[in-house]
Amino acid sequence: MDLNKFTIKQAQEKLEAGEITSVDLTRACLERIGAIDDRIKACLTVCENEAICAAKEADLRRKNGEIGALLGIPYLAKDNIMTRGVRTTASSKILENYIAPYDATIIKKLKSAGAVLLGKTNLDEFAHGASTENSAFGPSHNPWDLSRVPGGSSGGSAAAVAADMCLFALGTDTGGSIRCPASFCGISGCKPTYGLASRFGLIAMTSSTDVPGPLTKTVEDAEIVLRVIAGVDGNDATTVDAHRDRSRPVHAADVQTTMTGKKIGIPKEYFGEGLEAGVKKLVMEAVEYYKKQGAEIIDVSLPHSKYGVGVYYIITPSELSSNLARHDGIRYGFSDNSGNDLLSIYKNSRGKGFGPEAKRRIMLGTYALSAGYFDAYYLKAQRVRTIIKNELDQVLEKVDCIITPTSPHVAFKIGEQSNDPLKMYLEDVYVTGASLAGLPAMSIPVGFDNGLPVGMQLIGKRFAEDTLFAMGRAYQDGTDFHKRRAEIL
């Protein structure tokens, strides 16, 4: 029995029945990492001894009568999430040997729940990218085809889940960084509503769109994880008590998954030029599935969505250029003090510590925020962002969710687009809108095009994760795409 192949739900049942232990689960995952990660390259750090100790503690807690949704469940965390005493690099040379002095709030919550941290996963440097090729430590590989990217920036986390190295993984999503790799790797990935889960302890990229979320084998598992990590945090003023809201997030277990009476919006702008025929076919087949289950399919329009990428790539570099200013070679991380003055230390440390994409975005952001250009670029982008947000909100008043492709195509070859930054930025064409608006969105697998996974994106109302989970589970109850796993040779 390959314990590492279990879903969280399956593992829970075995643990509660006493048929397996958390130590058994953890060892199975660690053995899987040891057997295949030299080819996948999903992990940057593996905490073997610490994981076994945490698993033993979880087993003791269970023996003493404790129960819990994630008690004893092994997971991996994206390496831009702070983990006390464990190397946290953001896949950058400038933090190559940085040991985090505290846990991110979501890590604290998982520790309290008894989840077992196996290690840290690869990403695009500081989450700047859509392929995990921008990592200072080399790219991760897609388990379905090792010559292809796993998506990004949470590519290491997605590849690890798809390759059964863990039962779930944590990622972060700024403009598609959970949903894109979930699509490319054939798993479920949930970007929660902005403010539902704390950003405290995340190495900041774009503060106004960053959110942590789960990458899992099923929609049901994503719900289980989000229940644990969601909630108000005194260290993050952007978090809210969603339970005071009229909707009830992350409680899809109480929601009927019947589609009768549900209204699904299909935006024409997401199904036009640039979308590969095979991807469109599979997404529309999924829409037809919902229709047969009783959902009403409604054509909608989001005319300003075409500006999403342009807006995102003004706001994102602007915010990250400010956030990355703290990495100066003085306080922590890599430092080159070979110069004769303070300016030389700054230049040498940042010049050698940051990779090409980080430098490119710092320069773009600094330019957009500079005197004489702030109004023309950043302020105008924020105004268009508001239009995009309002447009999505208005459509979602008429429908329960919006369905789109997650990506216009399947995973591409490693190196195929790395010399074309503009083409890489356009990877985010279908996913930036929900991020700019702060809406919950989820990618689930809907089939395979030439043997590679295709994902469908569901976008919901603010704090209506329950609706997305119910709709995702309804689809997975009647299909088996989420059960298929790559055979890694």
DSSP character string of 356-380: HHHHHHHHHHHHHHSTTTTIIIIIH
**DSSP state letter for 95:** G
Give CA–CA dist 401/102, Å, rounded.
Answer: 38
pLDDT of 26 > 60? The answer is yes
Active site (annotated) includes residue 153: yes
| pLDDT value of residue 420 | 80
Most confident of 125-129, 332-336, 368-372: 125-129
Q: Which residues, 6+ apart, have CB-to-CB distance to 350 below 8 Å?
A: 94, 327, 328, 329
The confidence score (pLDDT) of residue 424 equals 82
Q: Report pLDDT for 422.
A: 75
Cβ atoms of 418 and 139 closer than 8 Å: no
Rounded distance between C-alpha atoms, residue 71 and residue 54, angstroms: 10
- What does the domain layout of the chain look like in residue ranges? 3-262+462-483
Does residue 252 have a pLDDT over 70?
no
**Per-residue pLDDT averaged across 57-79, rounded?**
97
Tens of pLDDT, residues 113-138: 999 999 999 999 999 999 999 999 99
Predicted confidence (pLDDT) at residue 249 exceeds the cutoff of 50: no
3-class SS of residue 452: strand
The one catalytic residue in 22, 41, 78, 217 is 78
Catalytic residue among 92, 177, 183, 188: 177
Q: pLDDT above 70 covers what percent of the chain?
A: 96
Is 78 an active-site residue? yes
Q: CA-CA distance, 233 to 106, in Å (whole number)? A: 10
Query: Is there a catalytic annotation at residue 177?
Result: yes
Q: Which of 91, 131, 140, 153 is catalytic?
A: 153
pLDDT at 257: 65
What is the per-residue pLDDT for 256? 56
Predicted pLDDT at 470: 96
Burial class (CB in 10 A: 0-12, 13-18, 19+), 88: buried
Question: Which whole number is the average pLDDT over 181-204?
Answer: 98
Question: CA–CA separation, 437 vs 388, rounded Å?
Answer: 7
CA distances for 224 relative to 100, 139, 168, 425, angstroms: 27, 30, 10, 32
pLDDT for res 421: 79
Check: CATH 3.20.20.80 for 3-262+462-483?
no
Q: What is the pLDDT of residue 423?
A: 77
Answer yes or no: are the C-beta atoms of 315 and 403 closer than 8 Å: no
pLDDT averaged over every residue in the chain: 94
- Per-residue pLDDT of 404-420, as tens digits, reads 999 999 999 999 987 78
Q: Which of 2-6, 244-248, 422-426 has the highest mean pLDDT?
A: 2-6
> What DSSP line would sit under 231-297, residue for residue?
S-BTTBTT---GGGSSS-TT-GGGS----TT-EEEEEGGGSSTT--HHHHHHHHHHHHHHHHTTPEE
**b or e along 458-471 (b: 16 or more beta carbons within 10 Å of the residue's beta carbon)?**
bbbbbbbbbbbbbb
pLDDT in tens, 84-97: 999 999 999 999 99
Name the pLDDT band for 488 (thresholds 50, 70, 90): confident
Q: How far apart are CA 291 and CA 311, in angstroms?
A: 34
User: What is the band of 246 on the pLDDT scale with cuts at 50, 70, 90?
Assistant: very low
Percentage helix, strand, coil for the chain under 3-state DSSP, each rounded to 5:
45, 15, 40
The answer on pLDDT for 208 being more than 60 is yes
- Give me the residues paired with residue 454 across strands: 447
Mean pLDDT of the region 173-196: 98
